[in-house]
Amino acid sequence: MAEPKEPKAKQSFPPDAVTREYAESLDAADPLRAFRDKFIIPSKENLKTKKLAKPGLSPEPCIYFCGNSLGLQPRATSQYMEAYLDTWSSIGVIGHFRDLEDSPLKQWQLLSEQAAEQMSRLVGAKPAEVAVMGTLTMNLHLMLASFYTPSQTKHKILLDWKAFPSDHYAIESQIKWHGRDPNESMVLIGPDEEEHVIPTSKILSIIDEHASDAALLLLPGIQYYSGQLFDIETITRHAQSRGIVVGWDLAHAYANVELKLHDWNVDFAVWCTYKYGNAGPGAIAGLFVHEKHGTVDYSQGEDKPVFRPRLTGWYGGDRAVRFKMDNKFKPIPGAGGFQVSNPSAVDLTCLCAALSVFNKTSMTEIRKKSVRLTGYLEHLLLEGTTDESRPFRIITPSDPNARGAQLSLLLKPGLLNQVAQALEDAGIVCDKREPDVVRVAPAPLYNTFTEVWEFVKQFKAALAM
């Protein structure tokens, strides 16, 4: 059995870490502090208005800890959108084929490649292994159509016990599409009773238990409810050694933690870009297909390409012959060959604007601050309390290697609404999940240590009301 990674020690902080002055000193020394100015932070006053408002209605920004649901708007977005609109208004359809001077965007026909090349750096992939298209669930369906090929003996899909509903629905429907019973073909991997974290050793043992009849493993890189970051490398290697195809939903891992999809030999992955990726609500999504699955073989003749079966569309065809319109599909080698439709240039524009911010740093630097930021949050939450006295429990792993930017706080029953209302009144935006969880996600590109300090102050006051 593959060996899980050793836990990383928790961070230590000095006695004065509980002071606002200490938080401010961390901000002053933060090498990423200038990135905050690259985003538009909603004001506290705007959060209360019910009319369409301009940014900066009041000078006091809110504390926005909800990047795990929707990231903030980069200031570059308006510049990129203006370039898109000017291109459309000035040259119309020619915008598909002409690069314009002074525009941050390539011709529309190449925009998806522009985004994929930049996005590949965030997921540890070769540019040809990434495609920008559709939405997360649509892409998951397309990947399952290609990678879930059940046989009479190997038909099960192993998945998270608390999978995000759209993932659960997609898997369930794919199993039914193949004429099988989800009750027999879905295996839910869950934690031990009354726990929320699933040990890697348990995942590996369940893989072994079902190795003879499992066709595919699909897990979230980060579990949306608990915030647990799975050991993608170890789990992937172990499942593949048992003859199981491995896919990952990276909705909460993309632009949040360091990923090495190519080196980890992941078969496929899908993700959205509107959370930590800051590409806008419902933004265009991404997918990864390892290069071993994206080859196109012409050894049988130019008109008889051999490639991995998939649901095909016009936009997945090689651009060199795409406009011949001869209905002879020759897929783009790599993930691009899994594209289906002409992607929205508006969506790609917003994504490219967000990626332009990430281009100015690296996931290594982003992750370094994130670990420190989340560690500070954990330290302040637990400081001065005991397990017995505390009216909440952090259900996210304490090991920094087993979590991203999110801490999930499980409150004692009956506290959620009062705490959520108090945080809202204080101009703090974070996410609640019924019945008793508050998800807090300080994003390293635009959140500060001082905001963490202020949040904990308001959170503890709300608990004491």
Three-state SS annotation for 346-365:
HHHHHHHHHHHHHCCCCHHH
Domain boundaries, given as residue ranges, for the chain: 20-68+362-463, 109-355
Q: Is 136 annotated in some ligand binding site? A: yes
Q: Is 208 annotated in some ligand binding site? A: no
The mean pLDDT value for 439-456 works out to 98
**Whole-prediction pTM:** 0.95
Q: What is the pLDDT of residue 322?
A: 79
Q: Read off the pLDDT of residues 337-379 as tens digits, 9 standing for 90 and up.
A: 999 999 999 999 999 999 999 999 999 999 999 999 999 999 9
Q: Is 342 annotated in some ligand binding site? A: yes
Give CA separation, 277 vs 62, 274, 282, in Å: 20, 5, 12
The mean pLDDT value for 286-306 works out to 95
What one-character DSSP code corresponds to residue 210? T
Would the CATH topology of 20-68+362-463 be identical to that of 109-355? no
The mean pLDDT value for 67-90 works out to 97
Beta strand residue intervals within 195-267, DSSP E = 214-220, 245-249
User: In b/e form, how buried is each residue of 66-98, taking b as 16+ CB within 10 angstroms?
Assistant: bbbbbbbbbebbeebbebbeebeeeeeeebeee
Which CATH superfamily includes the segment(s) 20-68+362-463? Aspartate Aminotransferase, domain 1 (3.90.1150.10)
Q: Is 108 annotated in some ligand binding site? A: no
H-type alpha helices, 316-441: 319-322, 345-358, 363-382, 416-425
Q: What is the pLDDT of residue 321?
A: 80
Q: Is 166 annotated in some ligand binding site? A: yes
Q: What is the pLDDT of residue 25?
A: 97
Q: What is the pLDDT of residue 59?
A: 76
DSSP per-residue letters across 119-187: HHHHHT--GGGEEEES-HHHHHHHHHHHH----SS--EEEEETT--HHHHHHHHHHHHHTT--HHHHEE
Cα angle, residue 395 at apex, residues 393 and 399 outer, rounded to 5°: 115
Of 51-55, 314-318, 381-385, 411-415, the one with minimum mean pLDDT is 51-55
State both tokens at 253: 């891992």
CATH topology (fold) of 109-355 = Aspartate Aminotransferase; domain 2 (3.40.640)
Under the banding of pLDDT at 50, 70 and 90, the label for residue 247 is: very high
The Cα–Cα gap between 331 and 98 comes to 24
Q: Is 281 annotated in some ligand binding site? A: no
Q: Read off the pLDDT of residues 94-143 as tens digits, 9 standing for 90 and up.
A: 999 999 999 999 999 999 999 999 999 999 999 999 999 999 999 999 99
Q: Is 137 annotated in some ligand binding site? A: yes
What one-character DSSP code corresponds to residue 411? E
